[in-house]
Amino acid sequence: MTPCTLITGGAGYIGSHTAVILMDAGYRVIIIDNLCNSSPRVLDRLRQLCGDQFEFVQADVRDGAALDSVFAQYPVESVIHFAGLKAVGESVTQPLRYFDNNVGSTVSLLQAMDRADVRRMVFSSSATVYGDPQQVPISEAAHLKATNPYARTKLICEDMLRDLQDADPRWQVAILRYFNPVGAHPSGIIGEAPSGIPNNLMPYITQVAVGQRDYLSIFGNDYPTPDGTGVRDYIHVMDLARGHVAALEHLTKQQSSITVNLGTGHGVSVQQLVDTFVRVTGRPIAYRQTARRQGDVAACYADTTLALTTLGWQAEHDIARMCEDAWRWQSMNPTGYAS
């Protein structure tokens, strides 16, 4: 049987796009997801895009027996671990749920991989591990500091992976620190479908554009940034997905572990993102300036040198393309996967 890549959380936003890119590149894919933050309809959409080339297992990654049966059934050679909870605000009010799910699933997965003799993992980390950065662009060597429980779960998992590599050099791990993933597959068939009120900026903008929300609140206009609004490194989800293929290839060829930022290296303000969205889609976006959101930093964008030199990867799509693709997805699916 052809070797497989196991994608945990593959029914989610980034996992589903990565599954498509992997299948396009000829990988055989197994998705495991408990659907706690995704719809089973994603799987139909993936079949629409890629045919029946993947397997789906509905299970919780904390369930070691379920993982053992997946490893027994399929010749898995590498794992991309997306499964996790990701809402910063929720993690502040429900920290145990975040530690249980994010740290618990990673421990359970690493144990099952060890039992199955599979020791190649790509891990979804986040720029949130840099906390309030001392300088931008942020390099991988920057100081790490968790400022909320969600960030702490990522930092704990990163530390765990570093300890594991120290203990047993057979482990090959790529820790990928994503900046702000946005956009959708260019077909508009899969995209980001947050449940409830979006926490993140781009899905909020597209929901205002489609008429689901009345207006966008711009959180803060007094940051020390060129126009006073917060600056972030928005990265197209298809570029991000490609970064995972580059990371898998690196692990296979170089057999060495890495920790890499995945961003564009360009800072874009909230106001610039809104203006670009309006320009490329022709949709008006009503917005109001409101107070800063607690916990937000002024500016956060990546130093992308290491991604280019180690992975030979760099982002290709600009902000206009991110807006265009996010809008195509939202306008074709006004209520996400419920449409």
Does 34 bind ligand NAD (CB under 6 A)? Our answer is yes
User: Pick the catalytic residue: 13, 150, 178, 234?
Assistant: 150
C-alpha torsion angle, residues 248, 251, 85, 115 (rounded to 10): 110
Say whether residue 37 binds ligand WQD (CB under 6 A): no
Bond from prior residue into 203 cis (ω within 30 degrees of 0): no
Q: Is 150 a catalytic residue?
A: yes
**CA 226 from chain center: how many Å?**
27
Selection from ligand NAD, ligand WQD, none that 60 binds (CB < 5 to 8 A by kind) is: ligand NAD
Distance separating alpha carbons of residues 300 and 229, to the nearest angstrom: 12
Quick one: which of 122, 201, 246, 258 contacts ligand WQD (CB under 6 A)?
201
Cβ proximity of 78 and 122 under 8 Å: yes
201 is in the binding site of which of ligand WQD, ligand NAD, none (Cβ under 5 to 8 A by kind)?
ligand WQD
Query: Are the CB atoms for 98 and 161 separated by under 8 Å?
Result: no
Residue 126: its H or E element = strand 120-126
Q: Which of 5, 37, 172, 333 binds ligand NAD (CB under 6 A)?
A: 37
Q: Which amino acid is at 283?
A: R
For 120, other C-beta atoms within 10 Å of its C-beta total 21
Q: Which is nearer to ligand WQD, 29 or 216 (CB)?
A: 216
Please name the helix (run of DSSP H) or strand (run of DSSP E) that holds residue 7, with its range, or none: strand 4-8
Binder of ligand WQD out of 114, 139, 160, 219 (CB under 6 A): 219
**Contact region with ligand WQD (CB under 6 A), list: 215-223, 242-250, 256-264, 313-321:** 215-223
Please report whether residue 199 would count as binding ligand WQD according to CB under 6 A.
yes
Stretch that binds ligand WQD, among 197-205, 259-267, 301-309, 323-331 (CB under 6 A): 197-205
Residue 180 in the binding site for ligand WQD (CB under 6 A): yes
Classify residue 200 by its DSSP letter.
S
Token output for 93: 């009010």
Q: State how far the Cα of 79 lies from the Cα of 86, in Å rounded to an integer.
A: 19
Q: Which of 4, 27, 33, 120 binds ligand NAD (CB under 6 A)?
A: 33
Count residues binding ligand WQD (CB under 6 A). 18
Q: Of 275 and 296, which has the nearer Cβ to ligand WQD?
A: 296
204 forms part of the interface with ligand WQD (CB under 6 A): yes
Q: What are phi and psi of 70, to 5 degrees?
A: -65, -45
Q: What Rg, from alpha-carbon coordinates, does the chain have?
A: 19
Over the window 234 to 273, marking each residue x when it contacts ligand WQD by CB under 6 A and - when it does not, the resulting string is: ------------------------------------x---
Q: Quickly list DSSP for 289-321.
A: EEPPPTT--SEE-B--HHIIIII-------HHH
Strand pairing category for 234-236 and 287-290 = unpaired
Residues forming the site for ligand WQD (CB under 6 A): 86, 88, 126, 128, 180, 199-201, 204, 216-219, 230, 232, 270, 293, 296
Catalytic residues: 150
Return residues touching ligand NAD (CB under 6 A).
8-9, 11-15, 33-38, 60-62, 82-84, 86, 101, 105, 124, 126, 178, 181
